[in-house]
Structure 1
């Protein structure tokens, strides 16, 4: 690929890829990588937004392939719940920070809000640029796979980190074009709330159909429990 016409920027981008661990620099589309690291505050036209769109699909594909290849005994519901965490802004921003991507991101000094979202967007844009450089995952999977494998194992060992709500929302939007509805009540003993793991009860509905129910010590926990049951029901219908 042709190098950038700005030697200093070229060296910066090469330095970033060396930090990431990419060896095949000759395959990189440097113009795309430069664009992937240009925030909209710098240019309303030439920025990372379109590459971020591509990268969003890329990171989801990588996560899906890793889970399918490394953990073949896991259920589809687990795949979806774990992938929703792997591709979350929090995880992507964490990985962006690990590779010091913000140091290479062109952004105006006036735009310092929403750092986590900005880092996640830039990380996805970089993945988009690397994918479009070869139209394969060869510049991505060798260094991203180990992160996803470690994170997936950690997430699965801690069920509280699984995000069945996000997985269910993705499923219902993809299959039915609607969002699930949650109905939560607080369980009481007389007039006092129950201070146990059964304090809240949640139901999740889809198009006037009850899909699942769950309980938990918090509203969020109860909704996650209900979503897990609902996702299992919908997954079984697809089999």
Structure 2
């Protein structure tokens, strides 16, 4: 059923065409409208619940795309690549490619908050995915246009392993399991020399050391430690 406001209906139809979808597709327009309504507009009728659904949807699409295209990849690499694909930075970038900011209803001081724009766009993008999923209760309105983006981005990340984000993957796991963040400790700094891994970092959870890694920078060492920790979680050593 179309919206009662023709102008808004036309706006949403323009967005749907950008996705490459037919206007005859079984889209629930009221959900799509809600997905593009910021909480500053309404405390009760906004995109927050759809964003919750869309968060699960985007992770599922990313996981399926990786599984289909890289069947021999270890699970740890899947998680590290997926954490980049579903990051606010990437989702906001995709939202801008489709001009989502043109259709997002924002009110009050939030409309002038440039610092929060990335978060708003990422949230709205997830909410749109949630609305499209709930329109059909499957991924038929999503995968035809989102898969290409994720395939391209995954290939770029594979070519540049430094973009793999094991820290985000580990943080996601610790938050889900224990509602806490891992702690990183730089335990050694060697004298600088050419091509030397200068830093050693450890990652701890409560009083347990999960992993240790080396790197030329603190960030690189922390990523290396997170990789060791995450892979040990995925494939624990047998006693």
Provide the residue aligned with 2:227 in structure 1. 228
Provide the residue aligned with 2:87 in structure 1. 88
1:156, CA displacement in angstroms? 1.5
Q: 2:136 aligns with which of 134, 137, 142?
A: 134
Secondary structure of the residue aligned to 1:82 is helix
Provide the residue aligned with 1:66 in structure 2. 65
Provide the residue aligned with 1:166 in structure 2. 168
Does the CA contact (< 8 Å) of 1:182 and 1:203 recur in 2? yes
Give RMSD over aligned pairs. Answer: 1.8
Does the CA contact (< 8 Å) of 1:168 and 1:231 recur in 2? yes
Secondary structure of the residue aligned to 1:205 is strand
Tell me, in whole angstroms, the C-alpha distance in 1 between the residues paired with 2:188 and 2:16.
51
Q: What are the residue-to-residue correspondences of 1:70-149 with 2, within 5 Å?
A: 70-108=69-107, 110-111=109-110, 112-113=112-113, 114-149=116-151
Secondary structure of the residue aligned to 1:202 is strand
Q: 228-237 vs 130-139, which deviates more?
A: 228-237
Tell me, in whole angstroms, the C-alpha distance in 2 between the residues paired with 1:197 and 1:86.
31
Does the CA contact (< 8 Å) of 1:24 and 1:139 recur in 2? no
After TM superposition, the score normalised by the length of structure 1 is 0.92
Tell me, in whole angstroms, the C-alpha distance in 1 between the residues paired with 2:65 and 2:237.
22
After TM superposition, the score normalised by the length of structure 2 is 0.92
Q: Which runs of 5+ in 2 are unaligned?
A: none
Provide the residue aligned with 2:39 in structure 1. 40
Q: How many residues align?
A: 235
Tell me, in whole angstroms, the C-alpha distance in 2 between the residues paired with 1:151 and 1:131.
22
Q: Which runs of 5+ in 1 are unaligned?
A: none
